[in-house]
Amino acid sequence: MLLNRLSRRVAVRCIVAILLPVLMRRDPANGCVRAVTTRRMLRVMAAEVTVRTVEPVPTAVVAAAVTWAELPARWGPMLDTVWSFLRGEAPEGLYEQGHNIMLYKDDVPSIEVGVQVTGSFEPSGDVAGSALPGGLVATAIHVGPVALIGGTHRAVCEWSKAMGYRLAGPRWEVYGDPDPSTGDFDVEVFWSLVAP
């Protein structure tokens, strides 16, 4: 019973942490803060943190150590390099239906940007085989503007710590398929955990 109440309290705090930046906007005309409540923004409230065990998933990636300021400009060309490899010289059958991924190995951040694949392969230029980590994870699905994904990461971290888990370091994102009518897509956020 206590765990259930604590879980609900943390979930509410996590939802508030995600929604406050989204739902409160300053009107540039008069400086007043007003609530913004569009259907798309409210979908963020549905994010639910769960804990589960996952298997490692093979990936084709370009790896780099970048600064957080450099990351927005660097990840696109890195992903383009992987897709050029997969559409060109990759071994047949290496890519079937994998999703785009971004793995943050540490806080530098040392990152890997790429695509889920079916197995290992020989490196080609900047593209190398790697894997998303396996093991115990906390995960949530980010729904809404990708620019606000940091709120989902914060929610997963806060929930995990409140439930007695220790964050193990690596975290990653798996980008879902775009909705054909809107172009929107969900992003599954994962954080490696150490059990309490």
Q: Please tell me the distance from the alpha carbon of residue 167 to that of residue 172, in angstroms, as a whole number.
A: 13
More confident call, 48 vs 37 = 48
More confident call, 4 vs 66 = 66
SS (H, E, C) 55-88: CCEEEEEEEEECCCCCHHHHHHHHHHHHHHHHHC
Instruction: Give the C-alpha distances (Å, rounded to integers) separating 175 from 46, 127, 138.
Output: 17, 19, 16
- Is residue 101 scored above 80 in pLDDT? yes
**pTM for this predicted structure:** 0.75
Render 17-28 in DSSP notation, one character per residue.
HHHHHHHEEE-T
Among the residue ranges 15-29, 78-92, 157-171, the one predicted with the least confidence is 15-29
Which two three-digit tokens encode residue 149?
A: 């994904």
Among the residue ranges 12-16, 163-167, 178-182, the one predicted with the least confidence is 12-16
Q: Are 110 and 87 in contact (CB under 8 A)?
A: no
Q: Please tell me the distance from the alpha carbon of residue 134 to that of residue 152, in angstroms, as a whole number.
A: 21
- Is residue 7 scored above 70 in pLDDT? no
- Is residue 34 scored above 80 in pLDDT? no
| Helix or strand holding residue 157 (H, E) | helix 149-162
pLDDT for residue 47: 63
Burial class (CB in 10 A: 0-12, 13-18, 19+), 148: middle
